[in-house]
Amino acid sequence: MIGSRGPEPMIELDDVRKDYAGGVQALAGVSVLIRRGELVGIVGPSGSGKSTMLHALGTLDRPTSGTVRVAGHEVGRLSDARLSALRSRYVGFVFQHFHLAAGRSAVDNVADGLLYTGQRIGERRRRAALALERVGLGHRMRHRPHELSGGEKQRVAIARATAGDPPLLLADEPTGALDSAAGAGVMALLRGLNRDGTTVVVITHDHDIADSLPRRIRLRDGRIVDDER
């Protein structure tokens, strides 16, 4: 049993740098360790490298140098296919602008989140329904995105990200497009998921939200300037 030895690492970044063409350095040597079960906020002004860091954490992008380990896998050594498998099993993403498929019902949007896990359509729909119940949208299954409020859309997106019970949930400005009430609801949902054992990393530039989180990593110019608990 691992629990007796304390939470094991979920994500390890070691001296991660990311340079873009044109000499822009988005990450200038970032090292951080996030353990299973943590709820972490990554905070910083725009241009501070938050998004680049989220992409590195979520294995969507490979760093120019340094190592990223997610759930024990060294990302730099994995092929595209294995990285994709890693994302489908370990990582759920929530985006500022939801990225829901227009014209498809909430339950179909959520079920599509499980497409690349290889489950059959019946199983995907069943789990999608469960995930929607969990985010309090059991009564909105058949509604399409344009029939939902912003907060409801983001909750559908969270259901999609968590329908496969990934151990890691990455949220990129999840409240950025919502009013404060809806934003509070979404944050409460993320806290609840964290209580149930999911490691949650939230990127935000909202200091009120950041201050409500147990751990805050502050970024500026691609460097960690503060890591407080």
> How far apart are the C-alpha atoms of 23 and 25, rounded to whole Å?
6
Please give the helix or strand (H or E) that residue 199 lies within, else none: strand 199-204
Cβ neighbours of residue 97 under 8 Å, at least 6 residues apart? 177
Which CB atom, from 9 or from 184, has the smaller least distance to another protein? 9
Element (H, E) at 17: strand 9-20
Nearest approach in angstroms of CB 30 to another protein is: 16
**Backbone phi, then psi, for 2, in 5-degree steps?**
-85, -35
Four-point Cα dihedral 173, 202, 86, 34, nearest 10: 150
Write the binding mask 103 to 142 for another protein: x where contact by CB under 8 A, - elsewhere: x--------xx-xxxx-xx---------------------
Amino acid symbol at 115: L
Under the criterion CB under 8 A, does residue 89 sit at the interface with another protein?
yes
Site string for another protein, 165-204 (x = CB under 8 A): ----------------------------------------
Instruction: Count residues binding another protein (CB under 8 A).
Output: 34
Interface with another protein (CB under 8 A), residue from 19, 61, 165, 206: 61
Q: Using the rule CB under 8 A, is 25 a contact of another protein?
A: no
Q: Check residue 215 for interaction with another protein (CB under 8 A).
A: no
Closest approach of another protein to the CB of residue 46, in Å:
13
Residue 149, SS3? coil
Please say which residue, 115 or 188, places its beta carbon nearer to another protein: 115
Q: Distance between CA 186 and CA 188 in Å, rounded?
A: 5
Q: d(Cα 193, Cα 185) in Å, to the nearest integer?
A: 13
Stretch that binds another protein, among 70-78, 125-133, 181-189, 205-213 (CB under 8 A): 70-78
How do 24-35 and 199-204 pair as beta strands? unpaired
| C-alpha span between 167 and 188 (Å, rounded) | 18
User: In angstroms, what is the minimal distance from the CB of 139 to another protein?
Assistant: 25
Smallest separation, CB 52 to another protein (Å): 8
Q: Give the footprint of another protein on this chain (CB under 8 A).
A: 2, 55, 58, 60-61, 71-73, 78, 80-82, 84-89, 91, 93, 95, 99, 101-103, 112-113, 115-118, 120-121, 160
